[in-house]
Structure formats: structure tokens, C-alpha cells
Structure 1
Amino acid sequence: MSSTKELQQQLELRASALNKLQKDIAKNHQVRRQYTIQQGENEMVQKELELLDEDTNVFKLIGPVLVKQDLVEAKANVNKRIDYITGELRRLDSVLKGMEEQQNTKKDEVIKLQQRIQALQPGKARA
């Protein structure tokens, strides 16, 4: 049977791992939010490009300079960007699902350790 001290050390390790995982989940949400904003912006650009005539001048901002760009090329670039962002969002969702499953497992481990520690402490009122 494990001592209270050993259980306390295990609890601290698992709680620390849970805390790190929760920070990683928050970071994932932040990155996902940025990609979602970029996706919306690019979809808006895509709709605007669809409204243009084929002979319309299109310019791309490269650093401080506007460079003339072919409309077909501009549409292709925006479509590629949207495809890339969509793929990244799918990947982030998949990673998030895995992290949330790990989080649930770690929470259960922490709760069980806390219960074991409480059960080993004499004289404590059990509710």
C-alpha cells in the first residue's frame, strides 16, 4: 500500500501534467481562432475576386509595394490559402480532441488520488 507522501507526490505530478495539458489546449484554441479569422478574410477576398471582370487589374501587397497580379493567379492563390487553412483547422480539431481525451483521463487520475489520500488521513470527517 502506498503512503500518503507517495500519493501526494503522484498527485502533484499528475496535477502538473494536467495543468500543462490545459495550457496546451488554450494555446490550440488561440491558434484555431487565428486560423478561423484568416479563413473568413480569405473567403471574403474570394467572393470579391469572383465579382471582378477578367480584364480587371488586381494588385497584391508585397511588403510596402503593390504588385500587379493576374486575376486567375490571384484566385488560385486565395483558393490554395483557404485549402491550407481548412486543413490546418481540421488538424487542430483532431489534436484538440486527443488533448481533451487526455485531459479527462488526467482529471480522473487526480480525483482518484485525492480520494485515496483523503481515505488514508485518519480523523478526517468523510462527507
Structure 2
Amino acid sequence: MADVQAKLQSLSEQFTKLQQDLQDAVQSRQKLEAQKQENLGVQKEFAKLKEGETIYKLIGPVLLKQDQADAESTVNGRLEFINKEISRLETRIKEAQGEIERKKGEIIQVQASAQAGGAPAVKA
């Protein structure tokens, strides 16, 4: 009986860790989504600019003049990176959800076998 309890405790700890990993991945994805929206807004603003207009980049407390092509390239690169990270996190989230379901099944199986194994002992 103690062996079953130890196994349940271990599975429960693994389940809790998987849930925490899933929560962390979801939070990371939400942060990336917010960054993506910010960068899409900047990209839309760039589309409104006329050729040769001045762009400034805030670096610390200083505004520095920046080339329009460089600024657009930086934002496009950032968006590409963010999209790849979102895809990677979505894959991680799906894997974590699958693993959580497997652990849940294991826990239920161990509990059921413990109850089935424990029931005859109680009757006897």
C-alpha cells in the first residue's frame, strides 16, 4: 500500500510540474503575442510614411536618427523571429497538454488498481 502511495505521490508531483511548465509556456506565448501586436502597429506606421521622412529610435533617454530602410528591416526581422517563437511555443504547449493527459491517465489507472487491489483486502 505504501508503494502505491509513493507512486501516486511521484505521479502527482510530475503532473504538477507539467501543469506549471504549460502555464509558463502559455504566459510566454501571451508576451510574444503582445510584442507581435506592437511591432505590427509600428509596421503599419511605417507604411504611412512618405519617402525620406525622418525616423527616430529611442535608445535610453536619447532619440537617434535612423534610416527608414534599416528601421523597417529591424521591425520585419523582429516580427519574423516572434512568429517563429510563437510557433515553437504552440508546439511545446500541445506537447505539454498531451503529456498532462497521459499523466492524468496514469494517475487514474494507479488509483483504480489501488482501489481494486484494496477492496478484497477490506472484505477479508
**Normalising to structure 2: TM-score of the pair?**
0.93
Aligned residues: 121
3-state secondary structure, aligned to 1:50: helix
Output aligned runs, 1:46-85, within 5 Å.
46-85=43-82
| Candidates 83, 88, 91, aligned match of 1:86 | 83
The equivalent of 2:33 in structure 1 is 36
Q: Which has the higher helix share?
A: 2
Question: SS of the residue aligned with 2:115?
Answer: helix
Structure 1, unpaired ranges of 5+: none
The alignment partner of 2:57 has SS state of: strand
Distance in 1 of aligned mates of 2:73 and 2:96: 34
Unmatched 5+ stretches in structure 2: none
Give the CA RMSD over aligned residues.
1.2
TM-score, normalization by structure 1: 0.91
Is 1:105 aligned to residue 102 of structure 2? yes
The alpha-carbon deviation at position 120 of structure 1 amounts to: 2.3
**Which one of 111, 117, 120 corresponds to residue 117 of structure 2?**
120
Percent of pairs with identical residues: 36
Q: CA deviation at 1:22?
A: 0.1
Moved over 6 A (4+): none
